[in-house]
Amino acid sequence: MIRKIRLVALPLTLIALLVLTACGPAGQIPVSGEAPEKIIIGNPIALSGPNAPAAALSQVPSYDLWVDDVNAAGGIYVKEFDKKIPVEILRYDDTSDVGTAVQLTEKLIVEDKVDFILPPWGTASNFAIAPVVSEHTMPTLGCTVSSKQLAAEAEKYPSFFGVLNQAPAQGAALVAVAQELGVKTAAVIHHNDLHGIEFAGDVLPQLSAGGVDVVLYKTFPAGATDLSQLLREVQAANVDALIAFSYPPETFLMTGQLREIGFNPKMFYATVGVAFPVFRDAIAAGGAAEGVMGAGTWNPQVKAEGAQGYFDRHVAKTEAEPDRWASAACYASGQILQQAIESAGTLDPAAVQQAIAAGEFNTIIGTVKFENQFNTTYPGNIGQWQNGEFLIIDPGENRQADPIYPKPEWPAP
C-alpha cells in the first residue's frame, strides 16, 4: 500500500513542482480600499550581455536614484488613499535578449502583478514590449529608445511613451550646425544597424539640400575591429566634417584610430558614445575630447529645475557622472510617472496613462509634454565637449555656447 503511494507520489510531486515554478508567488493584490504598502515597479533590463554596459550607465543608476529621492520624501502621494506610499523596483535581468525581455515584462505584469513598468534598455527591447504593455494597459516611459518607426506607429501602442529626443530632431540640428559653420564637404559613415540606417535616411538628404557635399558614404559592420582603412579613405578625401552614426564601441574605436592615423577633421560628430563621461575621461583622455560633437544633450547647466541637484546626487551615489544624453531622460521618466500618479490621484494604470498622455510635467529635462506619445522638447539635440563639459550647441534659444570650429588638434599622447 505504502509502495503504491510512493509510486504515485514522485510523479505527482514533479508535476506539482513544475506547475508551482511556473505559477510563482502571487503579487500584491490590494484589498479594494486599502492602500498598498509599496508601489512596486517592475523593471526588466539588461544586467548582462551586450546591452548591459549602456544600461548600467544610463538607466539603472538613474532609476535607482529616483527611487531613493522619492522615498526620501516619504513616497508618492496618492489621493485615493490619502497617503504617501514608498516605491520599490523589482528588477529582472533580460540578458540583452528581446524574447526574454518580452517574457519578463509579461511575468512582471501578469504574475508578479506590479503596479507599473520601467522599460529595458534599447530600441529593440522597447519596440518589442510596446505591444505587450499596451495589451495590459500599463503605461511605460521609454528613455533609451530612438526610432522613427516606433514614433510613426505609436498610436498602435497607446501605453508606450517616448521621453528621449528622436533622430529627426537630432539630424536637423546636426545639419543646421554644419551649415552655420560653413562646412562644405562631409564624409558620412555608419554601422549596419537600425540606428545608423535611420539617421542616414534623415541626414543625408538634408545635408545635400543644405549645400553640404557628401563626398564619401560608407557603412561598416557593427562591432568592427578595425576602421583605420575607412578612416584613411576619409582622410584622403580631405573633408571638412566626419559624421558617424555609431554605437559606443565603434565611436571609441574611431576616435582612437583617428588619432593614430593623424587625421583631425575640422568637425567630428558621432552619435552614441560621445556624450558618455568615459569618453572624456578615458577614451579621449588628456583633453582629446575637446571639440568633439555628439548626439544628446543634457548637462547640469540646463535651465530645468533640479538639473544640478540630480547631477550632484548621481555623482555622490554612484561615484560616476550621468551621461549627457539619456541618463537625465531616465530620471525624468520617474518624475513624470510620479507627477502623473499624483495628478490622477490613483494607482490605476489606465488613469495614470491618461494623465501621462494629457499632462505637462516639470522635470530635470525641462517641461515634458507628449504629442502622439512622444516628447516634443529636449534641452538640446547636439552637443560638443568644451572645457570638460558637454555643452549644447543647437542653433536657437537652447544654445549654451557657440560651437568650436575647427576642432582643435588632437593633443600629443
Partner 1 sequence: MIQNLLDILITGLILGGIYALIAVGLTLQYGVGRVLNVSHGEFILVGALSTYTLYVGFGISPLAAIVVITPVLFVIGYILDRMLFNYLRKTSVNADAFSGRSLLASFGLVFVLQNLMLLIWDANLKGYTYLNTSVSIFGALYGLNRLLALGVAVGVSVVFYIFIKSTRLGKAIRSAAEDPLIAQVMAVNVKQVLAICFGLGAAMAGLAGILYSMMFELQPGKGIELTIIAIVVVVFGGLGSISGSLIGGFVLGLVTSIVNFIDPSLSLVAFYLIFILLLLFKPSGILGRQIHAD
Partner 2 sequence: MLISTIFNKRKFTLSMILLSIALLAVVPRFLPPYVIISLITVLMYIILTLSWTMFSGSTNYISLATAALFGVGVYTSAVLSGSFPLIVIVVISGVLSFILALLVGSLTLRLKGVYFILFTFGVTALIRNVIQWWETHITLTVGRHVSSPGNDTVYTYMVIIYALTLIFIFLLQNSSYGMALQGIGENEDAAEHIGIDVTRLKVVTFALSAIFMGAAGAVMATRWRYIDPTIAFNPLLSFLPVLMAIFGGTSMLGGPILGAVIFTLLQEYLITEYPYLYMLLMGLTLVIVILYLPGGLLVLVMRLYIRLMIQWAKTRFQWQMLKTRWREEWRPKVSMELAQRRLRLQWRLGRKRR
Binding site for partner 2 (CB under 8 A): 3-4, 6-7, 10, 18-19, 21-24, 47-48, 91-93, 95, 97-100, 102-104, 106-107, 110-111, 123-125, 127-128, 131-132, 147, 149, 153, 192-194, 196-197, 201, 219, 221
CB 266 within 8 A of CB 185: no
Tracing cell 550607465 back to the chain, one arrives at 57
Residue 187: strand pairing partners: 216, 242
CB nearer to partner 1: pick between 112 and 193:
193
Which parts of 288-327 interact with partner 1 (CB under 8 A)? 320
* Residue 340 contact among partner 1, partner 2, none, beta carbon within 5 to 8 Å by kind: none
In this structure, how many other beta carbons lie within 10 angstroms of the beta carbon of residue 346?
16
At 263, which amino acid appears?
Answer: F
Q: How far is Cα 411 from Cα 413, in angstroms, rounded to an integer?
A: 6
Instruction: Report if residue 409 touches partner 1, rule: CB under 8 A.
Output: no
Exposed e or buried b per residue across 77-116, where buried means at least 16 C-beta atoms within 10 angstroms of its C-beta: ebeebeeebebebbbbbbbbbbebbbebbbbbbeebebbb
Instruction: Report if residue 215 touches partner 1, rule: CB under 8 A.
Output: no
Instruction: Report if residue 282 touches partner 1, rule: CB under 8 A.
Output: yes
CB nearer to partner 1: pick between 56 and 401:
56
At 309, which amino acid appears?
Answer: G
Give the three-state DSSP class for 382.
strand
* Residue 339 contact among partner 2, partner 1, none, beta carbon within 5 to 8 Å by kind: none
* Residue 249 contact among partner 2, partner 1, none, beta carbon within 5 to 8 Å by kind: partner 1
Instruction: Report if residue 74 touches partner 1, rule: CB under 8 A.
Output: no
Q: How far is Cα 174 from Cα 238, in angstroms, rounded to an integer?
A: 20
At 29, which amino acid appears?
Answer: I
From the list 47-55, 68-76, 128-136, 382-390, the region that binds partner 1 by CB under 8 A is: 47-55
Instruction: Report if residue 98 touches partner 1, rule: CB under 8 A.
Output: no
* Residue 178 contact among partner 1, partner 2, none, beta carbon within 5 to 8 Å by kind: none
CB nearer to partner 2: pick between 208 and 367:
208
CB nearer to partner 1: pick between 64 and 112:
64
* Residue 257 contact among partner 1, partner 2, none, beta carbon within 5 to 8 Å by kind: partner 1
CB 409 within 8 A of CB 264: yes
CB nearer to partner 2: pick between 7 and 209:
7
Give the three-state DSSP class for 87.
strand
From the list 12-20, 34-42, 253-261, 372-380, the region that binds partner 1 by CB under 8 A is: 253-261
Exposed e or buried b per residue across 366-375, where buried means at least 16 C-beta atoms within 10 angstroms of its C-beta: bebebeebbb
Instruction: Report if residue 214 touches partner 1, rule: CB under 8 A.
Output: no
Task: Name the strand (E) or helix (H) holding 391.
Answer: strand 389-392
Residue 297: cis peptide before it, omega within 30 degrees of 0:
yes
CB nearer to partner 1: pick between 53 and 168:
53
Instruction: Report if residue 276 touches partner 1, rule: CB under 8 A.
Output: yes
CB nearer to partner 2: pick between 52 and 289:
52
Instruction: Please give the distance of CA 29 from its chain centroid, rounded to a whole number.
Output: 32
